[in-house]
């Protein structure tokens, strides 16, 4: 087919669609994306690939010819409606991927569990061998030098995992199919096991060169009987023979033979399941390159959320893993038993009510391998709760403990893990990674030490003399709301190279970061932020320069009040509406700040910023999707400066009078106490403040947080408020407005390090 020149990908911050977007970009496509949720690690990868997140790409001057979507984006979604109105082809992620690899020598990695790890191992092995190939991973490598996708330069080979959960597996006709395993799953899509098996048999029949399976898998053996293409078995006694002969908790030595060139190879993996997946990867590499190196996976560093070590000290190791099917969980716990000595405590979050109902008994059996299991409520993934599909079914008749209040986890785990060598494993595919991060943070702040280097070690000798770097910085005093805990690290870079150094170190440590301006429109949790805060001070980033012809260049750390003062002195009109906004230029651009009927992007000519990967970039106003309280292209970016355009020249006295008139109006309509600004977005054709007021909520108070009697959309701190009080008031306001007015208000402010869907 004729290559499509441009695409808009929905659900781009997810681990399925995001890598596909990056692959298409590498092929030369004009790619944009959109996602209702932000804050995913994939967002940084998209920024590195220079893929903008646009709610309406047509409004930004683009003309997508195809819309790719995650299967989670359903009919009726506003983005789908927009695409349908534009009469653009809409394809699911798997369908679009299948089209792009149809004329390639495609290696399809499939199976019920281990697809992403095995696909990543193939990528690492081929890269170690120096092969030219493309790939699309369904996750993120731990090694930051590996993006989640890459297009081939001159080779026809492309490696990717294919997903059976939504039926799009039927669109592929691979050159090589690698079937890691196959278990009965996805009862929400397949009516029975036979229907699931049929799509895999059909995939095998469409495979052109070879099907590769592990030795001893009875189901896969049955489904590959009578194929016209060769079926190669990998493992002890297989066509590609692999026998473990030595190893420790982190490495394995295999003796390989059969179709492999007979030799011994050393792999950076341990455990039966990992060795099996690695052997499959070696078989693919040998098939493509014809040889193996003595250390054929030297570039393997692992996949995020797969056996991640979050914390380690003598006697305690904390792991997190994506396993969510009973077979996956059993394999993971078996690996822990094989490679770690001591007690095993598992924290498990079931994924989907349908899967929980189907596999409750199997989950109970898998968790029995642990010395103690704590079970969280089911992560619904959009499903409605059903009889037999709740977490109670997983703990029924066992010693497993149901934990309804996740805030109790740190203290429970501390009690259970004291006094013995212990591994704590957080297991699940929902949002349990947040619980794992919280527990690791609690351990770090309790005085325990990580075995790996931390941020100061990574940047030692590389920062300028003017750069500030501090630990455990209070954030409450740096926000207009005045609540919240401390930041693990706080930095005030003095030059661009400082920012680049800090961002590179954060990426190496898998450390989150956030660029803080004046701290308005921001909520900080009581437990603080387990990451790096970057703040551009006016000392180093506060310059303003008149460029003539009604234009001025403004640094990212300039406060908007200072900008208005400079414009007044220069006799430049059109900035008056910014005077009362408590923000810096950088923060106001990220949030597209506005007041008195104006928005900051109304006066933007161009922006210069530092992308997350450390490249300085600049673009004109029409390259940005300036939305209501958001500019997606600046997510994760550090705004260095902007050129702003005045509406014209005017007498400074008249400009001051207009600013004062706006200030009087603001003081009369907004509270003077500490607040984060307007908390909720205005619904279409209405005002959040009006809805809150008519719901009788003005003056409602929890702790030291109250709904302002002056303006209902302001929640003010009366003195000693806690972040938890702020959330409690937000919940009660949303519930009351929805009950009385039928409108569900959406937050406008940012929750630092968290997502509102998890808080509200």
pLDDT tens for each residue of 671-691: 989 999 999 999 988 999 999
pLDDT of residue 589 exceeding 50? yes
Report the pLDDT averaged over residues 191-213.
93
User: How many C-beta atoms lie closer than 10 Å to residue 549's C-beta?
Assistant: 7
Question: Domain 104-289 classified CATH 3.40.50.970?
Answer: no
- CATH superfamily assigned to domain 308-445: Mur ligase, C-terminal domain (3.90.190.20)
To which H or E segment does residue 472 belong?
A: strand 468-474
- If pLDDT is split at 50, 70 and 90, which confidence band does 126 have? very high
Architecture of the domain whose range is 6-93: 3-Layer(aba) Sandwich (3.40)
Torsion angle of C-alpha atoms 310, 316, 320, 325, degrees rounded to 10 = 170
Q: Please give the CATH topology (third level) of the domain spanning 539-661.
A: 3.30.465
CB atoms within 10 A of CB 218: 8
**Quick one: average pLDDT of 271-287?**
90
Residue ranges in 352-460 assigned as alpha helix (H): 353-367, 392-395, 409-417, 432-445, 455-459
> From CA 370, how far away is CA 343, in angstroms rounded?
8
Q: Which two tokens stand for residue 136?
A: 């699309």
Do 308-445 and 455-535 have matching folds? Answer: no
How far, in whole angstroms, is CA 106 from its chain's centroid? 27
Quick one: pLDDT at residue 449?
A: 42
pLDDT tier at 453 (50, 70, 90 boundaries)?
Answer: low
* Confidence at residue 48, expressed as pLDDT on a 0 to 100 scale: 79
pLDDT tens column, 140-193: 888 877 899 999 878 999 999 998 887 889 899 999 999 998 888 777 778 888
Q: What is the pLDDT of residue 356?
A: 93
Which CATH code for domain 671-759?
Answer: 3.90.78.10
Distance CA 123, CA 109 (A): 11
The pLDDT of residue 625 is: 74
Q: What are residue 231's DSSP bridge partners?
A: 211
Distance CA 14, CA 548 (A): 45
CA distance 355 to 350: 8
- CATH code of 455-535, in short, is 3.30.43.10
Domain boundaries, the chain: 6-93, 104-289, 308-445, 455-535, 539-661, 671-759
Q: What is the mean pLDDT of residues 638-659?
A: 94
* pLDDT score, position 142: 82
Q: What was the pLDDT predicted at 448?
A: 43
Q: What is the mean pLDDT of residues 316-342?
A: 85
Would you say residue 723 has pLDDT above 50? yes
State mean pLDDT over 617-646. Answer: 85
How would residue 635 be classed by pLDDT, with cut points 50, 70 and 90?
A: confident
Q: How far apart are CA 716 and CA 698, in angstroms?
A: 11
**Predicted local confidence at residue 38, as pLDDT:** 63
- Which backbone phi and psi does 44 adopt, to 5 degrees? -65, -40
Average pLDDT of the segment spanning 24-36? 91
**Can you tell me the distance from the alpha carbon of 731 to that of 681, in angstroms, rounded to the nearest whole number?**
15
pLDDT of residue 2: 47
Buried b (16+ CB within 10 A) or exposed e, 172-203: bbbbbbbbbbbbbbbbeebeeeeebbebbbeb
pLDDT the model gives residue 445: 65
The arithmetic mean of pLDDT across residues 256-264, rounded, is 93
Residues of the chain with pLDDT > 90, as a percent, come to 60
Most confident of 3-12, 209-218, 407-416: 209-218
Residue 636's pLDDT is what?
82
pLDDT at 597: 82
Q: Identify the pLDDT of residue 269.
A: 87
Pick from 299, 300, 297, 371: which is nearest to 336 by CA?
Answer: 371
Across the chain, mean pLDDT equals 89
- The H-or-E segment that residue 730 falls in is helix 723-741
Least confident of 43-52, 123-132, 287-296, 513-522: 43-52
Question: What is the model's pLDDT at position 544?
Answer: 96
- pLDDT top residue among 693 and 55: 693
Is the pLDDT confidence value at 249 over 80?
no
Task: For residue 378, give Cα distances in angstroms to 324, 393, 659.
Answer: 11, 10, 53
Is the pLDDT score of 1 beyond 50? no
Please enumerate in sequence order all residues whose Cβ is within 8 A of that of 464, keeping only pairs 6 or more positions apart, or say none: 493, 494, 495, 497, 498
CA distance 297 to 280: 12
Residue 504 CB neighbour total at 10 angstroms: 17
């Amino acid at each position: 087919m004729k290559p499509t020149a441009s695409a808009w990908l929905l659900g781009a911050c997810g681990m399925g669609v995001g890598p596909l977007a990056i692959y298409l970009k590498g092929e030369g496509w004009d790619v944009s994306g959109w996602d209702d949720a932000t804050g995913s690690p994939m967002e940084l990868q998209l920024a590195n690939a220079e893929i903008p997140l646009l709610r309406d790409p047509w409004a930004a001057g683009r003309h997508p010819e195809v819309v790719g979507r995650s299967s989670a984006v359903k009919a009726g979604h506003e983005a789908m409606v927009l695409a349908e109105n534009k009469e653009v082809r809409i394809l699911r992620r798997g369908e679009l991927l299948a089209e792009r690899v149809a004329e390639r020598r495609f290696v399809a990695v499939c199976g019920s569990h281990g697809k992403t790890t095995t696909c990543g191992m193939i990528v690492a092995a081929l890269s170690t061998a120096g092969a030219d190939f493309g790939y699309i991973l369904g996750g993120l490598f731990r090694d930051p030098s590996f993006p989640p996708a890459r297009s081939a330069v001159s080779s026809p080979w492309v490696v990717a995992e294919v997903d059976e959960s939504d039926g799009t597996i039927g669109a592929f006709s691979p050159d090589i199919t690698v079937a890691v395993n196959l278990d009965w799953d996805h009862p929400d899509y397949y009516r029975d096991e036979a229907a699931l098996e049929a799509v895999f048999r059909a995939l095998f029949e469409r495979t052109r060169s070879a099907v590769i399976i592990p030795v001893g898998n009875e189901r896969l053996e049955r489904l590959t009987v009578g194929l016209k293409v060769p079926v190669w078995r990998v493992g002890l006694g297989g066509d590609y023979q692999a026998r473990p002969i030595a190893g420790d908790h982190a490495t394995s030595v295999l003796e390989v033979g059969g179709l492999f060139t007979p030799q011994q190879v050393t792999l950076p993996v341990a455990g039966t399941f990992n060795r099996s997946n690695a052997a499959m990867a070696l078989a693919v590499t040998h098939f493509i390159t014809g040889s193996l190196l003595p250390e054929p996976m030297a570039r393997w560093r692992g996949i995020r959320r797969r056996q991640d070590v979050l914390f380690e000290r003598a006697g305690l190791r904390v792991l997190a893993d994506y396993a969510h099917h009973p077979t996956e969980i059993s394999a993971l716990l078996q690996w822990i038993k094989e490679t770690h000595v001591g007690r095993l405590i598992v924290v498990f979050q079931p994924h989907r009510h349908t899967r929980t109902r189907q596999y409750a008994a199997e989950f109970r059996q898998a968790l029995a391998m642990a010395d103690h299991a704590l079970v969280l409520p089911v992560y619904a993934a959009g499903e409605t709760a059903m009889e037999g599909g709740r977490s109670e079914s997983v703990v029924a008749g066992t010693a497993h403990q149901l934990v309804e209040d996740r805030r109790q986890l740190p203290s429970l785990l501390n009690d259970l893990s004291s006094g013995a060598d212990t591994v704590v494993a957080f297991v699940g595919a929902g949002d349990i990674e947040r619980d794992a991060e919280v527990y690791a943070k609690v351990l770090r702040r309790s005085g325990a030490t990580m075995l790996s280097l931390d941020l100061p070690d990574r940047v030692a000798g590389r920062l300028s003399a003017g750069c500030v770097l501090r630990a455990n910085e209070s954030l409450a005093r740096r926000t207009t709301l005045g609540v919240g805990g401390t930041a693990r690290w706080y930095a005030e870079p003095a030059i661009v190279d400082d920012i680049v150094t800090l961002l590179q170190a954060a990426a190496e440590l898998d450390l989150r970061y956030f660029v803080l301006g004046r701290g308005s429109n921001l909520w900080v949790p009581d437990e603080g932020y387990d990451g790096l805060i970057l703040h551009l001070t006016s000392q180093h980033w506060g310059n303003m320069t008149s460029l003539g012809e009604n234009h001025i260049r403004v640094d990212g750390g300039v406060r908007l009040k200072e900008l208005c003062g400079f414009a007044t002195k220069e006799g430049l009109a059109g900035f008056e509406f910014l005077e009362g906004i408590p923000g810096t230029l950088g923060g106001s651009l990220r949030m597209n700040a506005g007041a008195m009927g104006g928005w900051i992007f109304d006066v933007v000519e161009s922006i210069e910023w530092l992308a997350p990967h450390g490249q300085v970039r600049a673009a004109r106003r029409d390259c940005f999707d300036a939305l209501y309280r958001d500019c997606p292209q600046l997510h994760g970016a550090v705004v260095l400066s902007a050129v702003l355009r005045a509406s014209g020249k005017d007498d400074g006295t008249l400009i001051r009078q207009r600013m004062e008139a706006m200030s009087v109006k603001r003081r009369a309509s907004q509270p003077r106490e500490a607040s984060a600004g307007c908390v909720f977005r205005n619904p279409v054709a209405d005002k959040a403040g009006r809805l809150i007021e008519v719901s009788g909520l003005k003056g409602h108070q929890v702790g030291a947080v109250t709904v302002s009697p002056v303006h209902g959309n302001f929640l003010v701190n009366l003195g000693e408020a806690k972040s938890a009080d702020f959330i409690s008031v937000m919940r009660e306001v949303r519930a009351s407005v929805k009950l009385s007015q039928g409108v569900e208000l959406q937050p406008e402010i940012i929750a630092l390090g968290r997502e509102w869907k998890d808080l509200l």
